[in-house]
């Protein structure tokens, strides 16, 4: 086997390894971007819930516990999202909030419903809760 033959066979293998490495790196970047967008979504919704409760004169006892579920297109980081938050209010009742909407690199919008002690505090379309 000549040196040029060894180079010719080693080059495709090196290119394949490089391609595999690039795909793995892109997947990791997309996964991290999804985590960041999910955290931004939860933070934005949590802040809006706290604002709506305070405007209605309802005080939280402790922090809200929020979780999000998102179905994102990996390429555009856009998709459908939902956030559910629960917490306690000062009178011992339950605070429950649900956000259903969409998220994109420009932000997130949707419908937010907030209840406290079984009483609806707010239910309407929101502005951009995630920044952008």
64 vs 124: CA distance, rounded Å = 20
What is the longest distance spanned by two Cα atoms in the chain? 84
Going by C-beta distance under 8 Å and a sequence separation of 6 or more, which residues neighbour residue 92?
61
pLDDT tens for each residue of 35-65: 545 677 888 889 999 999 999 999 999 999 9
Radius of gyration of the chain (CA): 23
Q: Is-contact 94 117, C-beta < 8 A?
A: yes
Q: The whole model's pTM is what? A: 0.69
Interior/surface letters 21-52, b for 16+ CB within 10 angstroms, e for the rest: eeeeeeeeeeeeebeebbebbbebbbebbbeb
Domain boundaries, given as residue ranges, for the chain: 3-125
pLDDT tens for each residue of 106-121: 888 899 999 999 999 9
pLDDT tens for each residue of 5-25: 555 555 565 555 544 544 444
Cα 122 to the center of its chain, rounded Å? 22
What is the pLDDT at residue 6? 52
């Amino acid at each position: 086997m000549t040196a040029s033959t060894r180079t010719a066979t080693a080059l495709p293998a090196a290119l394949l390894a490089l391609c595999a490495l690039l795909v793995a790196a892109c997947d990791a970047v997309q996964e991290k971007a999804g985590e960041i967008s999910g955290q931004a979504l939860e933070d934005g919704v949590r802040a809006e819930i706290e604002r709506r409760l305070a405007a209605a004169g309802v005080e939280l006892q402790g922090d809200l516990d929020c979780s999000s579920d998102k179905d994102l297109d990996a390429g555009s980081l856009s998709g459908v999202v939902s956030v559910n938050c629960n917490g306690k209010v000062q009178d011992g009742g339950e605070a429950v909030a649900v956000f259903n909407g969409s998220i994109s690199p420009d932000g997130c919008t949707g419908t937010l419903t907030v209840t406290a002690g079984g009483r609806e505090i707010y239910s309407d379309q929101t502005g951009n809760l995630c920044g952008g």
